[in-house]
Each structure stands twice: as structure tokens, then as C-alpha cells.
Amino acid sequence: MKFSIPGYALLDSGDGRKLERFGDVVIDRPSSLSAWRRRNDAVWEGADAAYLPPDKWECSRSPFTTWQTEIANVKLELELMSNGQLGIFPEHAIYLPQVEAAIKRFLAAGSRTVRVLNLFAYTGLATAFCAKHERVLVTHVDLAKRAIDWAKRNVQLNTSATDRVRWIAEDALTFMAREARKGNAYDIVIIDPPSFSRVSKNNSWTLEEKTPEIVNLVLDVLAPESGVVFLTNHSAASTSDVARNIALDRFNDQGVSIEISPLSLKEERSDRILPAGSLITLSHNSH
Ligand SMILES: C[S@@+](CC[C@H](N)C(=O)[O-])C[C@H]1O[C@@H](n2cnc3c(N)ncnc32)[C@H](O)[C@@H]1O
């Protein structure tokens, strides 16, 4: 897996924190996995903002809360959110070149329009990336209206062809079940389920318990014999194997390749990596 992400760098990590550059803004945040030592104390002095849990940001120079940047050739609005998030999970930029290659394969094979389904789509990194391509129609699904509004702004920063995106503010599983009933299929499914989802007061789930249902729903809406899936897992590593086995069962091991690869961020000036989950890709052998 290629490590470098244009516009982003992991500058250093250690002692329970990570130091990252997003465009020209340097951010210092907690990182529970960074159980090693910092390599370069001096570089941390350059942080523009540091997150202090549970909800505080400390800016080193003039205070700011939002900025615009370009990561993986996608223009994005980022924000210092009170939960420590910024509006991007940079590891998701790692597989965008594979998504682009899949789009190009569909177009080269004669598809008039490539139908992309982006589930748990957050602030729309993958949506904006895909919508920059002609003859692509992205269906963007997220439960949170605030995330959808943010993703709309990100798409607008990248293309004037905003009609390439269909916006759905709904539970991703409910949406997939309805699409399957209607017989609607997608060429590319990008899905980044959270480890925990609270859909409503009486409906919450963990990815571990929902993996079989999620994988089956994805395969219900995937174009038969040609569809490609990019599924990411940020929970237990075993969840990726569970997902792979369930998909293999659906195909009786025939006609598909399902690969699991690590999603990791490599430090700019060392060989150390920060683990960030894994990517499960499914593609048809004929494609
Ligand atoms: C991209 S996911 C997970 C991000 C991160 N990789 C992680 O593991 O925490 C977060 C997004 O999923 C959305 N989300 C959570 N539950 C959802 C559901 N049941 N249906 C659709 N979107 C949901 C949230 O609104 C949020 O924008």
C-alpha cells in the first residue's frame, strides 16, 4: 500500500500523541496507540493547535477554528471540533487511487455512468474525489445532517457539477435494504462503518455485531459480476476476517478476490507507522 498522501504528513508521534500536518496547519492530538517515544521534540513546537480532552483546543498563535486545504488532490474545509476530530480521517486518502482506477476500468469497459455508493460518508472526502470525475454519479449516505452539509460544501469546493451527487440523510443499513428491495445496484461501494453507531434512542450497534448484516446488505446492492467494494474496519482486526469470510460464503469462493490490507500512516521521517485499521477490497475476477 502506498504511503504518501499529498497535502498530509505524520510529522512525529509518541508519548500518547501524534503530530500531523494538514496543508500548512500543524495539529497536535492524542493518539492512544502511540505508546512509543517522540523522536523530535523540536518539531512539536511548530504545532498551530493542540487538542486537550475532553473538548478544548489551544492555538499557539492567532486563534482559528476552520481552514481550507487540499489533501489527496481534494479541496476540503477542516475544523477544530470539540471532540478532537478535524473533518478528515487521513487514512481514507490512501485507497483513493484504487477507487479512481476502478472508475476508469468501468468507463473503459463501456459504462455510461459509474454508480458509486458512499456509506457512512462523513464529510465527503471520497464523495468529492469521485464527483470530480465525469460520468460518475455518487450516492452519499450519512445519518448526520451536519456531516451532509459539510460534505456538500466540500463537493462545491471541488466541482461545479454538484448534480453528480445524490444526498441521503438516513441510516445506511435502512437505505441499503430499501435499495436492495427496489433492485438498485452500484458499481462501486465505499463503506466506512463506525465501531459504534447510535441510530436512534432504541437502536444502537457495534460493528462486531453488525458485520454480517452490513456485508450481506453491501452485496445485495452491488452490481452482479462487476461491482467493487472498499470496506474499512477500525474495530478489532478479526472483524476484517469475519467480513471476508461472509463475502466468500456469498460467492462460494468463486469469481471474486477479497483482500485485506493494513491502513497505516507512516511517519514522514522514520520507518514507524501509526496503525489506522484495515481495508477490505472485493473485486470480481472477470473485471
Ligand atoms: C465515517 S464513520 C467512522 C469514522 C471513523 N473511521 C471511525 O471509525 O470512527 C463516521 C460517520 O458515520 C456516520 N454514521 C454513524 N452511524 C451511521 C448510520 N447508522 N448510518 C449512516 N451514517 C452513520 C456519522 O454521522 C459519521 O459521519
**Average pLDDT per 10 consecutive residues for the chain, totaling 287 residues:** 84 98 98 97 97 98 96 98 98 98 97 97 98 98 98 98 98 98 98 98 97 98 97 97 98 97 96 97 88
CA of 106 to the centre of ligand 1 (A): 28
Cα 251 from Cα 248, distance rounded (Å): 5
- Give the per-residue pLDDT at 131: 98
- Give the per-residue pLDDT at 138: 98
Other C-beta atoms lying within 10 Å of the C-beta of residue 210: 16
Give all domains of the chain, ordered by start, each with its CATH number. Answer: 8-80 (2.60.40.1180), 91-284 (3.40.50.150)
pTM for this prediction: 0.97
Instruction: Give the residue whose CA is nearest to atom 18 of ligand 1.
Output: 171
- Give the per-residue pLDDT at 107: 97
Cα 280 from Cα 211, distance rounded (Å): 12
Cβ < 6 A, ligand 1 pocket: 89, 120, 122, 141-144, 147, 171-172, 192, 194-195, 197, 199, 234
- Give the per-residue pLDDT at 171: 98
- Give the per-residue pLDDT at 286: 76
Of 118, 139, 143, the one to substitute when testing ligand 1's pocket (max ligand atoms within 8 A of C-beta) is 143
| Per-residue buried b or exposed e for 219-229, using 16+ beta carbons within 10 Å of the residue's own CB | bbbbbeebbbb
Instruction: Give the residue whose CA is nearest to atom 12 of ligand 1.
Output: 120
Q: Which residues pair with 27 in a beta bridge?
A: 20, 49
- Give the per-residue pLDDT at 287: 63
Sign of CA dihedral 4, 8, 12, 14: negative
User: What distance lies between CA 136 and its chain's CA centroid?
Assistant: 18
Other C-beta atoms lying within 10 Å of the C-beta of residue 37: 9
CA of 142 to the centre of ligand 1 (A): 7
